[in-house]
Amino acid sequence: MSDLILKSSNIFTSADNEAFPGALVIRNGKIDSVLRGSFARSDLPSSGDFFDCGSRLIMPGFCDSHIHGFLGSLQSKTVNLADCVSEEDAALKTKRYYETSDLPRLIGFGWNHYSWAENNLPSKHSLDRLIKDKPVYLFNEELHSIWLNSAALKEAGITKTTPQPENGHISIGKDGEPSGYLLEPGAIELVTPFVFSLTPEAENELFQNLIDTASACGITSFSDIQIFDTLNCGIYEQFLKNNELSCRVFPVFPMKTPVGQLLQLRDDYDSDFLKFSGVKEFLDGTAAMYTGTLIEPYSDRPGFNAPPLVEAEKTIERAIELDQLGFRIRFHACGAGAVRLGLDIFEQVRKKNGFNATRHTIEHIENIAPVDIPRFKALGVTASVQPDHLWSERYANHPFHSILGPERCRWAWPFKSLVDGGADTAFGTDFPVSPLDPMQGIYRAMTRLHEDGKPEGGWIPEEKLGLSESLRLYTAGSAKQMYSKNQFGMLKPGMAADIAVIDGNLFDMSPGEIRQAGIYMTISAGRIVYS
């Protein structure tokens, strides 16, 4: 590994609010010194590979606090239905994409019925008219539902006599038969063994694609969260042995995993580049699918609220047990009721076990009751949020307007309120729900604009964040959530040389230009992994 010297008129350390001119000296994979000022080459150490980055911004590598790596890579190799305008359009695009394919199953991602003219949920019939001979499995944008044809229902053995699963729902048509629409993990997991039946070679290729894509996005670390049994640490381990793991990976496993297995996983994955990072549980679904748990009923469905996906008392007992063993818990909680439930559980954990360094986390926080915001700091709970989740194609069509109503919409994706309330906050993408590109999330956090550029000034402008704060949450904030505050996430002497060099200076760009900014170079532990 060569020593490196990077010079630029713009260096952002994540410990400062502004960029400054200077240079970084990197020795043995770590930052040896951060020099401030304008330097000629002769002013800097003579040994090491020298890069004059001009005015390009040098900053810590991005840390994505929440991805689903396998699913994201699989999405890039399958049909993308995000731009479809109707159920029929999505079905036809699927047929055309796989017209000449010899694959035994057809897989797709990204459809969103709120983007369709009639906002209707899909059924097997539209797929059956076009694709009868092969099973079709199409995930929606949020990964909380899946759309099947009859061949897929048959392959999975789902019939009208199949019991409704716990924490999920099989939609039934007017004829009493499964309609081809499955909602939430309990139902989706009935078909995932078939969807994800890949050869070892194909799976290895997907994970390699994930690592390469992350490096090209300036990402030097991420939390890969188990969903649908797709997390394969064995592949990451092999990459590490072959010196091919250019991102630090922090795997997160299901909360229901037996304690003995969790202890073994923590022992097995305990290196700088592959480190066990806790467990996760779903407290609810999403409000857009009417499975998010609110505090008051849905505005457009009087008297209706989605129940939590867990039993509170059992979850408290489990959380106390895992906390005593030093396991960090991450709760998926989109609706304000689920967020409150998560905080209530962690409050009981603190009362029983006291405070420790477990850094329990609540994920997503699409909506919150303002009285719950100070509880994050009081309980030492991290807020892991994904700014790009708030967008829609057209602001006027965002489902939250009718689902929550204006009063509760004020507290939708409350980034600045969480930060100002003292919550440790981490940024991520939830890839493939949002693109892996950090610039998308930074743009959204700064503008809170939808794809039609509305509303003027941003949706709930009180919750917008500035550039330096957004960069800090995407670096130091997420590193702290990964138990690595003093290892990476900032440019400080002694810390790992995990660095992103942006192709331009973000501090001189408009938000729209930031969104389009590319990566000039990515360095992981002092090694150039993308250029």
Q: Are residues 455 and 327 in the same domain?
A: yes
Of 478, 385, 474, give the one whose Cα is nearest residue 437. Answer: 474
220 and 92 in a single domain? The answer is: no
Domain boundary among 133, 161, 195: 195
Both structure tokens of 428: 């991520």
Q: In what order do the strands lie in the sheet with 62-67?
A: 62-67, 219-225, 248-254, 279-282, 329-333, 361-364, 382-385, 425-427
Per the CB < 8 A criterion, the answer to whether 23 and 6 are in contact is yes
Q: How far apart are CA 376 and CA 88, in angstroms?
A: 44
pLDDT bin (cut points 50, 70, 90) of residue 484 is: confident
Residue 315: what are its φ and ψ, rounded to 5°?
-70, -35
Strand partners, 249: 222, 274
Give dist(CA 182, CA 158) in Å, integer: 10
> What pLDDT is stored for residue 128 in this prediction?
97
Q: Read off the CATH number of the domain in which 451 is found.
A: 3.20.20.140
- When divided into structural domains, the chain yields a total of 4
Q: Compare 186 and 412 and report the one with higher pLDDT.
A: 412
What value does the CA radius of gyration of the chain take, rounded to a whole number of Å? 23
Pick the last residue of a domain from 163, 195, 227. Answer: 195
Residues 367 and 411 sit within 8 Å (Cβ to Cβ): yes
What is the reported pLDDT for 204? 92
Query: Which CATH number belongs to the domain containing residue 177 in this structure?
Result: 3.10.310.70
Residue in the structure block whose two tokens are 């505090």:
295
Mean pLDDT of 451-472: 97
Whether residue 295 is found in the same domain as residue 422: yes
Residue 485 confidence (pLDDT): 76
* 155's tokens: 């392959």
Q: What is the pLDDT of residue 56?
A: 98
Last residue of a domain, one of 248, 277, 306: 277
Strand partners, 5: 25, 50
> Which tokens is 64 given?
């994505």
Same domain, 285 and 273: no
pLDDT surpasses 70 at 193: yes
Q: Dig out the tokens for 294 from the structure.
A: 């609110």
What pLDDT score does 457 carry? 97
Q: What is the pLDDT of residue 1?
A: 61
What mean pLDDT comes out for the span 476-493? 92
Report whether pLDDT(483) > 90: no
Judge whether residue 432 has pLDDT over 70.
yes
Q: Clarify whether residues 449 and 358 are in a common domain.
A: yes
Q: 11-68, pLDDT tens digit by residue?
A: 999 999 999 999 999 999 999 999 999 999 999 998 899 999 999 999 999 999 999 9
Residues 317 and 433 occupy one common structural domain: yes
Beta carbons within 10 angstroms of residue 87's beta carbon? 21
First to last CA, the chain: 16
Is the domain of 79 the same as that of 57?
A: no
Give the number of other CB atoms < 10 A from CB of residue 439.
24
d(CA 294, CA 93): 35
- The answer on 49 and 76 residing in a single domain is no
Average pLDDT over residues 257-280: 96
Q: Is the pLDDT of residue 357 over 90?
A: no
Question: What value does the mean pLDDT take over residues 251-257?
Answer: 96
Nearest to 56 by CA among 513, 436, 500: 500
| pLDDT for position 66 | 97
Question: CA angle at residue 435 from 462 to 360, to 5 degrees?
Answer: 65
| Cα separation, 278 vs 224, whole angstroms | 11
Task: Say if residue 331 is in the same domain as residue 429.
Answer: yes
Based on the domain organization, do 234 and 325 belong to the same domain?
no
pLDDT of residue 196: 87
Average pLDDT over residues 397-425: 97
Residue 524 in 3-state DSSP?
A: strand
pLDDT at 87 over 70: yes
Please give the average per-residue pLDDT across 99-112, as a whole number.
92
DSSP 66-90: EE-HHHHHHHHTSEE-TT--SHHHH
Q: Is pLDDT at 198 greater than 90 in this prediction?
A: no
**What average pLDDT does range 143-149 have in this prediction?**
95
Q: Is 297's pLDDT higher than 90?
A: yes
Domain region containing 13: 1-61+488-531
Beta strand spans in 284-396 (E): 329-333, 361-364, 382-385
The per-residue pLDDT for 326 is 95
3-state helix, strand, coil split of the chain in percent (to 5) is 35, 20, 45
CATH code at position 497? 2.30.40.10
**Locate tokens 């063994």: which residue?**
193
Evaluated on CA atoms 314, 318, 321, 326, the torsion sign reads negative
Confidence of residue 231 (pLDDT cuts 50, 70, 90): confident
Same domain, 417 and 308: yes
Same domain, 457 and 311: yes
> Per-residue pLDDT averaged across 211-220, rounded?
97
